[in-house]
Amino acid sequence: MAESEESLDDLRVVSAPPEAAGERLDKWLAAELSDLSRTRVQALIDEGAVTLDGVEIKDAKHKVRAHGAYEIAVPPPLEAIPIPQSIPLDVLFEDEHLIVLNKPAGLSVHPGPGHADGTLVNALLHHCAGQLSGIGGVARPGIVHRLDMDTSGVMVAAKTDKAHQGLAKLFAKHDIERRYMALVRGGVRPRAGTIHTNIGRAGADRQRVKILPLGASQGKEAITHYETAEIYGAQAGAAAGSPAASLIHCTLETGRTHQIRAHLSHSGAPVLGDALYAGQGAFKPEGESDAVSAARDAVKQFSRQALHAALLGFVHPVTKKKRSFDAEPPADFQTLRAALSRLPVSAATGRRS
């Protein structure tokens, strides 16, 4: 006779108090088991992992029985396909539910073509080893939003299924505070306002998005609030009052792919260093001086888009506490900003704000 294999399932027993009688089983269990989302509970019910008096309950709408002892066999999470890798992380906050970090430029969030490993997911699998309760039954971090590989700044990832579901709902409802800093060529007119369009894929070019009229049948609504924080120098050959570059603060109401980069380019102020959306224009500060030459060199040497996710605020999906996290731009961004700030400002351009 073959030896029986020991089950590695996490067996949990939840007893129903009288006041729970008549509630939907999936809703009640999700409330009782704080680390499992309702979606995950429904999947476990479908798999026959929930029993009452030894009988499988296969209906998520089952009415809870008072004093019933419900057993839930939660299988161990499957290993994620990406391999854990020891990659340094700048962690701003971490608890048993989620992790907030300052992502460096050059680090891709997900494995993909050209970067099969060495990504944020690989780093989180290593950093959170033994802490991931399973997102949909798989031991992986819950990525609910992303930053482009060459964009730096604040990101959040879930460590539990419940946190993942909660964060996903916040992002879907746009109930997240997201503030970015962008160094752009020229400036936006008016100096503060809202850019409100649709954004869709640019045909066969899957790397780019394009601006579409608001309400178009294609694409999705995209809303960016912006204000000009600083202006630098004057732009040669442009109308009086046109800066050579600006620092723009952007607050996202929606979070579409490349939203800020596409919106600022559409408004005539593409992000410096942005190979996709900067167009054919050149950075042309007015005048000839050491400061102007240094600024030209700094822009030429900047090898990525000058965009930084400076602030992320949200209500913690489990503790329900309002949290806000910020991060200063990295050294390369600060160096470029410093070079631009030394550009002479003409009387027509006016003072930097």
Q: For the chain, what percentages of helix, strand and coil (3-state, to nearest 5) are there?
A: 20, 30, 50
- Who contacts 54 (Cβ-Cβ below 8 Å, separation ≥6)? none
Q: Taking the mean position of all CA atoms in its chain, how far away is CA 36?
A: 22
8 A C-beta contact, residue 137 and residue 164: no
Whether 148 is a known active-site residue: answer: yes
Q: Which two tokens stand for residue 258?
A: 């490349």
8 A C-beta contact, residue 27 and residue 53: no
Q: Taking the mean position of all CA atoms in its chain, how far away is CA 141?
A: 13
Distance CA 197, CA 267 (A): 11
Name beta bridge partners: 195.
224
Which amino acid is residue 194, in one-letter code?
T
Element (H, E) at 117: none
One of 26, 148, 274, 332 is an active-site residue; which one?
Answer: 148
Distance CA 108, CA 293 (A): 33
- Who contacts 285 (Cβ-Cβ below 8 Å, separation ≥6)? 232, 233, 234, 235, 236, 244, 245, 292, 295, 296, 343
Which three-class secondary structure state does DSSP give residue 88?
A: coil
Q: Which two tokens stand for residue 27?
A: 């809703």
Instruction: List active site positions.
Output: 148
